[in-house]
Amino acid sequence: MSLSGCPHVAAFKKSKGTKPFRIIQAFFVSCSSVENVKRKARAGSCHVCQQCNQRLHACLTCVFFGCYTMGHIQDHARSTKHNLAVDMTHGTVFCVPCGDYVYDSEFEQISQEERLNCSKFHGSSVQGFSAWEATGYEIELLRRNPTRKKVSGSSTIGLRGLINLGNTCFMNCIVQALTHTPLLRDFFLSDKHHCENERSRDNCLVCEMTRVFQEFYSGIRSVHIPYRLLHLVWTHARHLAGYEQQDAHEFFIAALDVLHRHCKGHNGASGNNPNHCNCIIDQIFTGGLQSDVTCQACKGISTTVDPFWDISLDLGPSSSSNSAPLPVPIIVPTPLPDFSLDSNSSGSSTSSSSLHNGDSGLMSPPGFDDVPHSLDDCLRRFTRPEYLGSSAKIKCSVCQNYQESTKQLTMKTLPLVACFHLKRFEHSSRFRKKISTFISFPHELDMTPYMSTHRRANGLSHHPRSNRTTTSDNQYSLFAVVNHHGSLEAGHYTCYVRQHQDQWFKCDDALITKASVHDVLQSEGYLLFYHKRILEYE
């Protein structure tokens, strides 16, 4: 096996060039026209035994197809001295005298081009997967740095304690969660950030995060001191400066915001549209939240979609907020005068009874006792329609009147990493307190029920269940949990992170200990980080 071909290939190319190879590729390996496909289907069988599934090869010198397993192509080559044959499935070149497949860079190039044409012709949406090939520069780097590290299942690489620099556990726990976000790790470890501004490099949080990730995954096990990171956070998010206790969620959002702003410098082109940014933070954390405001008079729906980085979920009884859950009477008798204005009903036959059925099922599920006990409860509450109250009249975009309305939030698009913030700290004008009730959360989460497509189908159409598809696209896995211990006045943050699929560790500032899934799921979660299980091709 050699990468530089063999003497037979060299001799062939000298006398006949690469044209015969290209013709065979285009006509019989990677067809890119209807006639070629038909011809391949008709003629693609062994000239000796007529079989078509015994590793068919085509002679590169004359028109002859023979199978490899039965030795027909080899027999042909020996009797005619036609040395080379092309595998008709994979397009590789077999040299009969050498007794092996040979690789020639020119041939490889041609076969790749034809394959591309072929996949275009067959209209595959994805360009398929192309393996990483080291460039000259990368080969040089690998040569100069001969040490290799193999990461095994029991490796502790990636686990590092962080020194508490004075009430900075709010930062440490978020750094732990971020460094264990697989997509973010891949981004930073592959040096994908190209800082534009040479001079302000010391001032760039993305550059600092790159350093932090490289520290974490360097294999060093001693404690890391994140003083530079803290300093940068202080300079860029002034409200977090000082040695006071801070909220981890606030820090998380501030960190994403600063990272997002510092990424912008080099993603220039996308900077002009604030809602569509291509930076790594937005690629990973941004989802789209759809808000449907339904006018109670004309049933017209106005829809807006806003980007979000996290979802904050209420834990208290919903009567404490001013938006009470919808009592049933609101949807009942009012006969709908204007069906034609209902932009979203699937047809004019929408009867009030079908609306009633759908809505009541959504709004007051039997046995739903107001205080959520699980992430599921929280999300259900988050995505149910809420009556905005008689004092909050909104101008309806359909009937142009100020009317009472209901509002429903749903997920239009899902982020790759979903962060849920359980609002355990309650600040109201009268009191401040921490809600310590246990909220259960799953290891694997299906977001399908909270999607806009699903909710709408469920609430408004006649066949609520018919188009329900349980795709694997909306499946998430838990990978980090931030916990708060103590009270509102004095507390401490720790973080559970997942490593190697199924190992969990508890990060308590400088201390890292092994934990079980059970420990994680029984903990008093404050921030829950879920990662999408299946990523689509770009």
Q: How many CB atoms lie within 10 A of CB 479?
A: 21
Nearest-CA neighbor of 474 among 522, 418, 518?
Answer: 418
The token pair at 478 is 């838990």
Report whether 51 contacts 58 (CB < 8 A): no
In angstroms, what is the minimal distance from the CB of 31 to another protein? 8
User: Which residues are part of the catalytic machinery?
Assistant: 169, 492
In angstroms, what is the minimal distance from the CB of 153 to another protein? 14
Question: Among residues 160 and 532, whose Cβ is nearest to another protein?
Answer: 532
How far apart CA 100 and CA 87 sit, in angstroms, is 12
* β-pairing verdict for 525-532 and 417-423: antiparallel
Binding site for another protein (CB under 8 A): 1, 37-38, 40-42, 44-45, 50-53, 99-101, 118-119, 121-122, 124, 126, 128-129
**In angstroms, how far is CA 441 from the centroid of its own chain?**
20
DSSP 116-146: HHHHHHTT-SS---------HHHHHHHHH--
Report whether 111 contacts 39 (CB < 8 A): no
In angstroms, what is the minimal distance from the CB of 505 to another protein? 24
The token pair at 225 is 């001191």
In angstroms, what is the minimal distance from the CB of 40 to another protein? 6
DSSP 8-state assignment for residue 406: E
Nearest-CA neighbor of 73 among 63, 59, 60, 61?
Answer: 59
Question: Among residues 244 and 536, whose Cβ is nearest to another protein?
Answer: 536
In angstroms, what is the minimal distance from the CB of 30 to another protein? 8
The token pair at 195 is 């800082």
In angstroms, what is the minimal distance from the CB of 329 to another protein? 49
SS (H, E, C) 235-291: HHCHHHCCCCCCCHHHHHHHHHHHHHHHHHCCCHHHHHCCCCCCCHHHHHHCEEEEE
* β-pairing verdict for 405-413 and 386-387: antiparallel
Question: Among residues 101 and 234, whose Cβ is nearest to another protein?
Answer: 101
Question: Among residues 41 and 142, whose Cβ is nearest to another protein?
Answer: 41
Question: Among residues 99 and 347, whose Cβ is nearest to another protein?
Answer: 99
Question: Among residues 129 and 243, whose Cβ is nearest to another protein?
Answer: 129
In angstroms, what is the minimal distance from the CB of 533 to another protein? 11
Residues 310, 531, 525, 484, CA torsion sign: negative
Residue 440 CB contacts under 8 Å (≥ 6 apart), including other chains: 373, 374, 375, 521
Question: Among residues 90 and 238, whose Cβ is nearest to another protein?
Answer: 90
DSSP 325-336: BPPGGGTSS---
Nearest-CA neighbor of 210 among 226, 233, 183, 187?
Answer: 187
